[in-house]
Structure 1
């Protein structure tokens, strides 16, 4: 008659099987991330979990070592190393911003269809001396409330396009305003501002979302490649993270993610109540350099506000 395994042995077996399943899932996620299989695919919905998966893999490696599953623990360590190769660059600052050059302080907020607290938004813009503010999901009815809270006096220059979803506010004059000439789901708002004698093009971004239609979302991100240039700032709600192939395509086209540039590659912005993923970004051309990047939770919005200071290169 067979003798039943002792409880400790059964427990170790269950732990090993559970950890093996986790490692298989992590490995599959890494393959998707490394090969870009998420572009134009529903796999875009899972690739956002790459940073979290790295933390989980470290824990699993420790558990496997504790139960003396050495081969499986070794595999977990290999996966951790690969994940570090993918993730570490976004936590390494690219350099020091030049001194004595003109600065541009920008912010972006998804207003959650006008539900963001106007006083809180205006107070932030005032206290942080924001030069340009991009507001997504801004309906016509929310504009008077922002002006009444003081935005008209603080940022009298604006390119308001509530019919197109996004608007731009500025302390200094804006020129060449209008909808971006690009095949996006809804028009992106653009304008130009003078910084230190140079013209910097601004694009307020709100792409479609992959859970709604991954094809439209991919099309939007690919269309934005056309705005890549030296003196450009592309900011807003991209509905994408640095692990999405389509957003990395924008960076390959010549844009820089400010958070990653200053070594803050893990800065979740959505949902605001418990941020898990960074969907909101400030991207810029190589004619500018990131000085700092930060986030702020404002009442009423389901996204965190993103703020960045840029310097002319």
Structure 2
């Protein structure tokens, strides 16, 4: 019997298996890698902006709010690179792994609760903030929210005179009789607790922010109802607003609450500057890392980013925080319970 040897066809370059099929496979792999590179261009750009703070005072302040989405896309691309043989090159795996690791590393702290021990005798302050969408928010729904959540202090932004009148007709005054109303400036504060030292905030912002003080647990807590300019309209003006608020925060002491529509996410450099001035974001403190409060009320567009926050000084600690939908406005309301830490306030 004679054995017959069968050779594997050789390609034009003399290597086995390197003919038309091999070239087609390499071409497909190259196309797939290029596609991954194109997909990662956005996440890479957002990461550079996030790390360098290039969003401060520039149009880059608008896209950087999408940084968490860029991180999610990078993780998906990493999964594809690991799962698809045509994409699995050592260089691609290393690059995408490093990119994903840096992005996720920046996001992880806001998903990890930083809970402090709250003594049982600590007094609590229940606060809420909502952008009324130039008074279009449903007044009765907002009053129901205040009643249901037993709110002590409510900050309302974009509240013109007509909105003030609508809330009065809906009965808000019976629940929150103490009021610092400034419809001519944009924001107002309603309170169950007597307000003192109220008025427009002395700060270089596009329009005056409203401030007041309440006494909780024997301590004076300063409140600032915040509504900054918006980056899409004028990024430099928005940055100046945030810088002015940071200056106020540095001089306000630990018993301070800034709440409202900051037109900023935790990925904005000016917001990080504000937090570095002595404030804590209640959502991040309690591990609610990817909350979305804007836009709402649009049938085809879900909420995408968090622009509305409750920030507090070191004399208080977050107990709970959540979002509520109020018909008529394009922002979700934020409701938070803050505890006043005994002995933690200013001397």
Q: TM-score, normalised by structure 1?
A: 0.96
Q: Which moved more, 1:59-68 or 1:159-168?
A: 59-68
Which residue in 1 is equivalent to 2:160? 139
2:16 maps to which residue? Answer: none
1:96 CA drift (Å): 3.2
Provide Cα deviations, 1:244-263, integer angstroms capped at 9, x if missing partner. 00000001111111100111
Distance 1:304 1:5 in 2: 55
| 1:7-22 alignment, distance < 5 Å | 10-22=27-39
Whole-Å separation in 2 of the counterparts to 1:10 and 1:140 = 65
1:116–1:298 contact (8 Å) kept in structure 2: yes
Measure how far apart 1:18 and its partner are. 1.2
**2:291 aligns with one of 257, 262, 267:** 267
The match for 2:312 among 246, 259, 284 is 284
- Structure 2: where are the runs of 5+ without partners? 1-11, 13-18, 342-347
Distance 2:226 2:180 in 1: 13
Q: Distance in 2 between matches of 1:259 and 1:97?
A: 17
Which residue is equivalent to 1:34?
Answer: 51
2:110 to 65, 81, 90: 90
Counterpart for residue 176 of structure 1: 197
Taking structure 2 as the reference length, the TM-score comes to: 0.87
**Secondary structure of the residue that 1:53 maps to in structure 2?**
helix
SS of corresponding position for 1:272: coil
**What's the RMSD between the two structures over aligned residues?**
1.6
Q: How many angstroms apart in 1 are the aligned matches of 2:29 and 2:136?
A: 51
Q: Distance in 1 between matches of 2:40 and 2:223?
A: 43
1:75 maps to which of 91, 95, 99: 95
Q: What does 1:176-255 correspond to in 2, within 5 Å?
A: 176-228=197-249, 229-255=253-279
Structure ID, larger Rg: 2
Any idea what the Cα deviations from partners look like across 1:127-160, whole Å, max 9, x if unmatched? 1101000000001011121122120100010000
How big is each residue's C-alpha offset from its partner over 1:55-113, in whole Å with a ceiling of 9 and x where there is no partner? Answer: 11111111222333232133111111111210001111112341220000100000001
Which residue of 93, 97, 105 maps to 2:126?
Answer: 105
Matched residue, 1:160: 181
